[in-house]
Chain A
């Protein structure tokens, strides 16, 4: 192992530090840069082996950009992504190739993420073809094994994606992600394009695969209720920044950030027992602000139910509010 890995206190699979992904806004004839969108703005987190970290937030908060930047489908504009001790944030496409075997992405919409002109067997075998692994017979065998793994009949391999249902397509996408035995899966809203009944099955498949294969999941979702069972830790994201980060249980039992309170409050109550999680019902007000022109101070203050004058002036930092629990709010300073 290289020197860089020696000074790690623990051994997380993934350590993201101060990650930034800014998109320039250009205008005028000469395409001059007139501003920027801070899609991911100084996000830090760690993800242990076999652990699931869920990133939750409304649409447009940058959570998908975060996931895709970690998987190096986008190039970060700042910060570092330490994967297994190696900073993959600055690697070139060529240097990334071996890393791509370890990090795989499952996309939101399986109809779009599977090539409609290819048979399932070629889709699932593609990672092996690209990395030149195995003989024809070995690849065929692996495809059969993977389809069985995701509970699909092996004869589906002769089909085209359009001959499968949405849930079956997503299982194929999961099988493809598993082909090269990765250690990290970035799950980008893996169930939000599926029927509710199918969602539960896909989630339990993902849990089962994690137990069997020791996978780490970075799960991107807008649905906080979905994370309760599957996530070990949860990060709540708003306008490119993490607002609160905590173990799943503490986040649901003892949310510290007003934004998290609002998100929790928005989950419909199905069972009485769930009511316990809920603070008094607070509805989220207004729309997400324009990310190219974020509000001053705390970016959430125009929609917050606990806004005070100070919120528009100072931007709060993430502070420790409990064991492994951090949050970003001006009120945390008051209570200290």
Chain B
């Protein structure tokens, strides 16, 4: 018996190893997604260890107000300041490094909020259906009918411009996309017999929605999360650029581009390097999201 047991167990483990191998294989088939994974890993690392990586953390406002060094203003990129310095003589590389923290935090907050609201709305609307479902989805449609950036502006303008309020504005814009994605998935999953089987066992609606259906819609949510991190960062930087997000001298990428715009083209490095950082972050999350889409074999949008 024990040899049979061992055999069965090892076979199950083999199966699981096999599926891990398949995931690794599919990831390898798409080398760009590995690049994306590398970029994101790098950004997360930089964000966490920013004070140790940046040569001039005090220029980015680490432990106090950003330092100024007017003697050193508008230094061209050099070994001492690889990205140059700004109008107050602050090291732009250090500020870009700290900017990673703001952008990742903004993306995470926005999407946590969007998923926290949108996913339950989609789950309930999709499973319960009827009048409640219709009402929830029509409300969702109202939000979806306005272009995201325009709606985010409309929400941000009456609020005090700050990073926190920019996050709130974007989050308000973002949840309906998750509601709609999840709604579509739930409508097909709820017809599966295991949902009826669970009802036959006596499971409550809440249990069926969150324990039976939710695990089956996690894959598209994961893919969309990864793709959306890039877009959320982009919109956050956009609000910063328009002066509706983080305020100077906060080292937020969009805010820095807006500040540097006045000094183009002579001091080109001021706006260029924060812009490249945004580009890199958006690219990384997009590549990773595309890779995940292939690995998890789901359709989004």
B184-207 interface bits toward A, Cβ cutoff 8 Å, 1 = contact, 0 = none: 000000001110111111111001
B146-181 interface bits toward A, Cβ cutoff 8 Å, 1 = contact, 0 = none: 000000000000000000000000000000000000
Asked if A116 is at the interface of the complex by the 8 Å CB criterion, the answer is yes
Shortest B193–chain A CB gap in Å is 4
- Which residues from 125 to 177 on chain A have a C-beta closer than 8 Å to any C-beta of chain B? 126-127, 130-131, 153-156, 158-159, 163, 173, 176
A153→B4 contact, CB < 8 A: yes
- Which residues from 196 to 231 on chain B have a C-beta closer than 8 Å to any C-beta of chain A? 196-204, 207, 212, 215-216, 218
Given the known inter-chain contacts A113-B197, A158-B12, please indicate yes or no for A153 contacting B5, CB distance below 8 A: yes
Q: Which of A96, A109, A115, A126 has the most CB of B within 10 A?
A: A115
Query: What secondary structure prevails in chain B residues at the interface with A?
Result: helix
A155→B194 contact, CB < 8 A: no
Asked if B48 is at the interface of the complex by the 8 Å CB criterion, the answer is no
* B13, closest chain A residue (CB): A158
A126→B201 contact, CB < 8 A: yes
User: Among the listed stretches A16-24, A25-33, A98-106, A292-300, which one makes contact with chain B, having 4 or more residues with CB under 8 Å of it?
Assistant: A98-106
Interfacial chain A residues near B15, Cβ < 8 Å: 159, 163
B12→A159 contact, CB < 8 A: yes
Interfacial chain B residues near A107, Cβ < 8 Å: 193, 196-197
Asked if A73 is at the interface of the complex by the 8 Å CB criterion, the answer is yes
B207→A114 contact, CB < 8 A: no
Distance A73 CA – B208 CA, assembled complex (angstroms):
14
Asked if A97 is at the interface of the complex by the 8 Å CB criterion, the answer is yes
Interfacial chain A residues near B9, Cβ < 8 Å: 155, 158
Asked if B135 is at the interface of the complex by the 8 Å CB criterion, the answer is no
A127→B193 contact, CB < 8 A: no
Shortest B109–chain A CB gap in Å is 28
Distance A218 CA – B239 CA, assembled complex (angstroms):
64
The total of chain B residues at the interface (CB under 8 A) is 23
Asked if A2 is at the interface of the complex by the 8 Å CB criterion, the answer is no
Distance A313 CA – B272 CA, assembled complex (angstroms):
88
Contacting A156 at CB < 8 Å: which of B8, B194, B201? Answer: B8
A101→B8 contact, CB < 8 A: no
Asked if A234 is at the interface of the complex by the 8 Å CB criterion, the answer is no
A131→B197 contact, CB < 8 A: no
A130→B201 contact, CB < 8 A: yes
Distance A61 CA – B187 CA, assembled complex (angstroms):
27
* B198, closest chain A residue (CB): A126
Asked if A273 is at the interface of the complex by the 8 Å CB criterion, the answer is no
Asked if A92 is at the interface of the complex by the 8 Å CB criterion, the answer is no
A59-71 interface bits toward B, Cβ cutoff 8 Å, 1 = contact, 0 = none: 0000000001001
Distance A118 CA – B214 CA, assembled complex (angstroms):
12
Distance A83 CA – B15 CA, assembled complex (angstroms):
44
Interfacial chain A residues near B216, Cβ < 8 Å: 115-117
Distance A287 CA – B226 CA, assembled complex (angstroms):
52
Shortest A145–chain B CB gap in Å is 16
Interfacial chain B residues near A9, Cβ < 8 Å: none
A126→B203 contact, CB < 8 A: yes
Interfacial chain B residues near A68, Cβ < 8 Å: 196
Interfacial chain A residues near B8, Cβ < 8 Å: 153, 155-156
Interfacial chain B residues near A100, Cβ < 8 Å: 200-202
Interfacial chain B residues near A118, Cβ < 8 Å: 215
Interfacial chain B residues near A97, Cβ < 8 Å: 202
Given the known inter-chain contacts A153-B5, A153-B8, A159-B12, please indicate yes or no for A105 contacting B200, CB distance below 8 A: yes
Distance A113 CA – B193 CA, assembled complex (angstroms):
4
Interfacial chain A residues near B198, Cβ < 8 Å: 115, 126, 130
* A112, closest chain B residue (CB): B193
* B202, closest chain A residue (CB): A100
* B196, closest chain A residue (CB): A73
Interfacial chain A residues near B193, Cβ < 8 Å: 107-109, 112-113
Q: Which of A126, A127, A131 has the most CB of B within 10 A?
A: A126
- Which residues from 216 to 241 on chain A have a C-beta closer than 8 Å to any C-beta of chain B? none
A115→B4 contact, CB < 8 A: no
A130→B207 contact, CB < 8 A: yes
* B200, closest chain A residue (CB): A105
Q: Which of B15, B202, B203, B204 has the most CB of A within 10 A?
A: B202
* B15, closest chain A residue (CB): A163
Shortest A55–chain B CB gap in Å is 18
- Which residues from 1 to 24 on chain B have a C-beta closer than 8 Å to any C-beta of chain A? 4-5, 8-9, 12, 15
Given the known inter-chain contacts A96-B202, A127-B202, please indicate yes or no for A163 contacting B12, CB distance below 8 A: yes
Interfacial chain B residues near A101, Cβ < 8 Å: 202
Distance A196 CA – B57 CA, assembled complex (angstroms):
73
Given the known inter-chain contacts A117-B215, A155-B8, A158-B12, please indicate yes or no for A105 contacting B202, CB distance below 8 A: no
* A173, closest chain B residue (CB): B197
Distance A114 CA – B197 CA, assembled complex (angstroms):
8
Shortest B18–chain A CB gap in Å is 10
Q: Which 7 A-B pairs have the closest CB atoms?
A: A100-B202, A117-B215, A113-B193, A112-B193, A115-B194, A155-B8, A97-B202
What residues of chain A have their CB less than 8 Å away from a CB belonging to chain B?
68, 71, 73, 96-97, 100-101, 103-105, 107-109, 112-118, 126-127, 130-131, 153-156, 158-159, 163, 173, 176
A to B CB contacts below 8 Å, 10 in the list:
A73-B200, A105-B200, A107-B197, A115-B198, A115-B212, A115-B215, A130-B201, A155-B8, A155-B12, A158-B12
Sample of 9 more A-B contacts, CB < 8 Å, known A107-B196, A153-B4:
A96-B202, A100-B202, A107-B197, A109-B193, A115-B212, A130-B204, A155-B8, A156-B8, A159-B12
